[in-house]
């Protein structure tokens, strides 16, 4: 097969490309330039897709003897990932830009161009596996739970799975991948993993949003609507946050308050007790299936709401154009804008962007005045 290897400049994609070559495929390496800031450089393990990463990817491609190109996807990345990130925060939601990048860039824009150029598949260094099922290809967790990346791949569609390869999916540990890279003489063998949002390499998300969205003072209120403090920009808060609230008035029970909700229209931040973070139901109208859709509109599953969270047994149902998920035990600190990935065993069934949550703790009724 003709395979386009997406090479980020990290150790995982390097070894994945090398394995694709050894499997007998005709491989071409490509690095995606996602920023037009020519001086963008990596800082330790912060960020990715930098000038340094492109150079690292080229050295690996030369080492394994494959053609290598850098493709400018910066405009598409700005429109589909960065602008979406800013718009979601402006609307009071908490987006996951890595999910959006996988959905719109790595497995849509890249794959579209690869197919146009005559490639059969793209190859990435993600830790996930593909299994031939009764109804087509299925996406499953990798063999290594600690490194499993199937959550961030939950946005893939059946068509995309048919043109995707994950050479690292069966590898038991990242240590094995690093050792293999070292044996192959790759300079990235000991390169640290990237973290944080790639277009905010200094990690200052609050400062970035303040610049892009702008700061506007507003009220911090409790669940009954009583004003308990003020803020200088709702974008600086996330659901579940405890620190940095700067509420001068303590709660009547003396317990700390947590951010429960962000209301962009009224520019209010709602706070309350920790137990009020418990969510009994989530739903989303933007959902998709990673392979064949479920045969029934209602089914048992497990739901995972963060990349490193534990899956929780749940019941899901398709109703009124939305995927509605009711976990057996309440979920903690769920924010709209997050992604809920649905599993059946190790299989990724699909995902939805959460646009509604139902608290497991009702609002205390207000005392009636005499």
* Residues recognised as catalytic: 101, 198
Rounded CA separation 345/116 (Å): 35
Rounded CA separation 88/10 (Å): 29
| CA angle, 285 then 348 then 153, to 5° | 80
Q: DSSP class of residue 235?
A: G
DSSP-derived secondary structure for 246-291: --SS--TT-PPPEEEEEETTTTEEEEE-GGGGEEEEEEESEEEESS
DSSP-derived secondary structure for 110-156: HHHHHHHTT-SEEE---SEEEEEETTEEEEEE-S-TTT--TGGGTT-
| CA angle, 21 then 182 then 119, to 5° | 20
Residues near 324 by beta carbon (within 8 Å), at least 6 away in sequence: 281, 282, 283, 316, 317, 318
In angstroms, the Cα distances linking 318 to 103, 288, 313 are 22, 12, 17
Nearest alpha-carbon partner for 145 in 343, 328, 349 = 343
């Amino acid at each position: 097969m003709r395979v386009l290897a997406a090479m980020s400049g990290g150790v995982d994609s390097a070894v994945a490309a090398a394995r694709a070559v050894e499997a007998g495929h005709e491989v071409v390496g490509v690095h995606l330039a996602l920023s037009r800031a020519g001086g963008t450089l990596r800082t330790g393990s912060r960020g990715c897709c930098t000038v340094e990463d492109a150079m690292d990817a080229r050295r690996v491609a030369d080492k394994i003897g494959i053609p290598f190109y850098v493709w400018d996807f910066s405009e598409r990345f700005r429109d589909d990932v960065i602008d979406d990130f800013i718009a979601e925060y402006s609307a009071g939601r908490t987006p996951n830009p890595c999910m959006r990048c996988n959905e719109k860039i790595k497995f849509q824009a890249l794959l579209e161009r690869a197919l146009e150029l005559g490639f059969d598949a793209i190859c990435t260094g993600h830790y996930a596996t593909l299994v031939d099922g009764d109804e087509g290809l299925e996406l499953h967790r990798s063999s290594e739970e600690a490194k499993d990346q199937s959550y961030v791949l939950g946005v893939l569609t059946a068509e995309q799975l048919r043109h995707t390869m994950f050479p690292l999916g069966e590898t038991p540990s990242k240590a094995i991948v690093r050792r293999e890279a070292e044996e192959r003489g790759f300079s990235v063998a000991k390169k640290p993993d990237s973290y944080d949002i790639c277009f905010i390499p200094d990690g200052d998300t609050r400062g970035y949003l303040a610049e892009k969205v702008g700061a506007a003072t507003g009220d911090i209120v409790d669940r009954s609507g009583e004003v308990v403090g003020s803020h200088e920009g709702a974008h600086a808060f996330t659901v579940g946050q405890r620190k940095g609230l700067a509420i001068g008035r303590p709660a009547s029970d003396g317990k700390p308050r947590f951010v429960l909700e962000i209301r962009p229209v009224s520019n209010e931040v709602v706070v309350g007790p920790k137990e009020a973070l418990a969510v009994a139901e989530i739903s989303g109208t933007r959902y998709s299936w990673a392979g064949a859709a479920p045969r029934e509109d209602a089914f048992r599953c497990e739901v995972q709401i963060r990349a490193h969270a534990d899956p929780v047994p749940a019941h899901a149902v398709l109703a009124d154009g939305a995927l509605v998920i009711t976990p057996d035990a309440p979920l903690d600190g769920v924010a709209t804008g997050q992604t809920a990935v649905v599993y059946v065993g190790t299989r990724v069934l699909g995902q939805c962007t959460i646009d509604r949550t139902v608290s497991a703790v009702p609002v205390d009724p207000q005392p009636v005045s005499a």
